[in-house]
Amino acid sequence: MARESESGLPIQPVYGPTDLTGWDPAGKLGEPGQYPFTRGVYPSMYTGRPWTMRQYAGFGTAAESNARYRRLIAHGTTGLSVAFDLPTQMGHDSDAPLAHGEVGKVGVAIDSIEDMRVLFNGIPLDRVSTSMTINAPAALLLLLYQLVAEEQGVSADRLTGTIQNDVLKEYIARGTYIFPPKPSLRLTADIFKYCTAEVPKWNTISISGYHMAEAGASPAQEIAFTLADGIEYVRTAVAAGMDVDGFAPRLSFFFVARTTLLEEVAKFRAARRIWARVMKEEFGARNPKSLMLRFHTQTAGVQLTAQQPEVNLVRVAVQALAAVLGGTQSLHTNSFDEAIALPTDKSARLALRTQQVLAYETDVPATVDPFAGSYAVERMTDDVEEAAVGLMRKVEELGGAEAAIERGFQKAEIERNAYRVAQETDSGERVVVGVNRYQLDEEEPYEPLRVDPAIEVQQAERLAGLRAERDQGAVDAALDALKKAAEGEDNVLYPMKEALRGRATVGDVCGALREVWGSYVPSDAF
């Protein structure tokens, strides 16, 4: 009996040559490292060196997260990936009323340069690549990182890493936005300009489909809406006077890897091909690096279960294999206990070991694009591409990603798909091992990692001390300079950096920008 893929596309029981009738291998495949990059963005891929192994971590205080980072590096992590708590993501200090109960819970609390110093204490920032999952206040965290690097004697041109900085998907899927879309896009363009001039090796944005997938997007929706957001960012930068080949090589993407391995491989291959064509044909990019869709992958947290959590080890291994077979540039593997609480040291280490087994004990990295020429995967790649391009066309008909967001289009489409998946799971049509089939009569006890609620009091005390010691007049003057830049057309990152250097807090800086740009109120108009 025929099955449907996660995108609702038919999966045939058997594929053969007739499924690729009229197929153009030269135009659709090319060689690895060459346009249209279906087979990967680099000629040698993992045969030269493995992907970057990142472990997403951050909780509680900066000191606790620093200790976790040091242990991960000792276990073989080749890149850090920082999780921030919700108050930091929303631009509030830890002692703000809105922060109550959330300080340090889903990531590390960063209020000022003092916290950032502690977070990276003893970690040489010229020898580690750091990814920071932060969006609306991404500019602040990048500047704090740069300031700490300067204190270490590391110049900005030696820093490597990524800020997520993808606020458009916040309006679609997550909700940790601060400002309305137009000023948010202006801030993104300012970040592009600043990094081109000051931090040239930094990836200025990680355009994210992961969070859309976690909200319920299908694979086709995930890449369609992510690439549509990417197009909006490129248009914004070009409209701001930037040359596409000056900033496009530093764009990066962030996708999920599900347990549906074949469709995920097809999805990654299709996404590379679509992006290369868009950058070449719509924006006239000439630098081959501008055409490359380089991406980070995280295994699918939404597919992990609190029931029989050890089974998640199997799920994560399959998801990681899908990412590697799909040609990811870096990978985070979720810990098996993440559906219950923050990962323990042991579960985080096991997640990293999963990547290391794939890299060093299997033959998958020995050849580039192992599925090339597969009847099934090539046909599925074409099918996913066609479905994604159709959705991208609908976004364009609404006026582009920003206009479609204002109409609520992407959000409504994702919610419809999420409802379909929930119905299938509830009915048992979609099997989830340990949840609706193969359950245990009684779950084994598991002791999760918990964050000490006293962290909120500790952060408030640190903030009180900072405010008492700093030169408040200098901070106020720096914030006034920031507001003046925000009101005009000057790049806001330069006065923002000086305010942060003077020990302005995240809440101070975001509050100043709220005064000028306002706060976003979502619409459910579509």
Cα 300 to Cα 319: distance, rounded to the nearest angstrom: 7
DSSP 384-451: HHHHHHHHHHHHHHTTSHHHHHHHTHHHHHHHHHHHHHHHHHHHTSS--BTTTBS--SSPPP---B--
Q: What is the pLDDT of residue 524?
A: 59
Q: What pairs with residue 52 in β-bridges?
A: 330
CB-based burial label for 425 (10 Å; 0-12, 13-18, 19+): middle
CA distance 109 to 92: 10
The pTM for the full model equals 0.92
Upper half-sphere CA count for residue 173 (Cβ side, 13 Å) = 28
Superfamily of domain 36-410: Methylmalonyl-CoA mutase (3.20.20.240)
Q: How many residues does this entry show for the chain?
A: 526
* Spatial contact of 190 and 491, defined as CB atoms under 8 Å apart: yes
Strand partners, 81: 56, 131
The pLDDT > 90 percentage for the chain reads 87
Residue 204 tokens, joined: 């200025």
pLDDT at 450: 77
**What integer pLDDT is reported at residue 55 of this predicted model?**
78
Residue 449 has phi, psi (to 5 degrees) of -80, 135
Q: What is the pLDDT of residue 75?
A: 87
Query: Is 248 within 8 Å of 207 (Cβ atoms)?
Result: no
Closest CA to 138 of 183, 201, 90: 90
Q: Report the C-alpha gap between 89 and 83 in whole angstroms.
A: 9
Q: Return the domain boundaries, the chain.
A: 36-410
The distance from CA 416 to its chain's CA centroid, rounded to whole angstroms, is 23
* Spatial contact of 72 and 117, defined as CB atoms under 8 Å apart: no
Q: How distant, in Å, are the alpha carbons of 12, 230, 248, 313, 327 from that of 166? A: 36, 9, 15, 29, 22
Task: Give the 3-state secondary structure of residue 517.
Answer: helix
pLDDT of residue 132: 94
Residue 213, H or E segment: helix 210-215
The sign of the torsion formed by the CA atoms of 151, 156, 160, 162 equals positive
Sheet holding 251-257, edge to edge: 202-203, 161-163, 129-133, 79-83, 52-57, 330-332, 295-299, 251-257, 205-208
Which DSSP category does 41 fall into? S
User: Residue 28: what pLDDT?
Assistant: 83
* Angle, CA 525 vertex, CA 520 and CA 526 arms, to 5°: 120
pLDDT tens sequence across 84-115: 999 999 999 999 999 999 999 889 999 999 99
Dist CA 340 CA 319 (whole Å): 19
Integer Cα distance of 260 and 291 in angstroms: 27
Q: What is the pLDDT along the chain (526 residues), one digit of tens a residue?
A: 568 999 999 999 999 999 987 777 777 888 999 999 999 999 999 999 999 998 777 788 999 999 989 998 888 887 888 999 999 999 999 999 999 999 998 899 999 999 999 999 999 999 989 999 999 999 999 999 999 999 999 999 999 999 999 999 999 998 999 999 999 999 999 999 999 999 999 999 999 999 999 999 999 999 999 999 999 999 999 999 999 999 999 999 999 999 999 999 999 999 999 999 999 999 999 999 999 999 999 999 999 999 999 999 999 999 999 999 999 999 999 999 999 987 888 998 999 999 999 999 999 999 999 999 999 999 999 999 999 999 999 999 999 999 999 999 999 999 999 999 999 999 999 999 999 999 999 888 877 777 788 999 999 999 999 999 999 999 999 999 999 999 999 999 999 999 999 999 999 999 999 999 999 987 655 4
With beta carbons less than 8 A apart as the criterion, state whether 191 and 494 touch. no
Q: Is-contact 440 70, C-beta < 8 A?
A: no
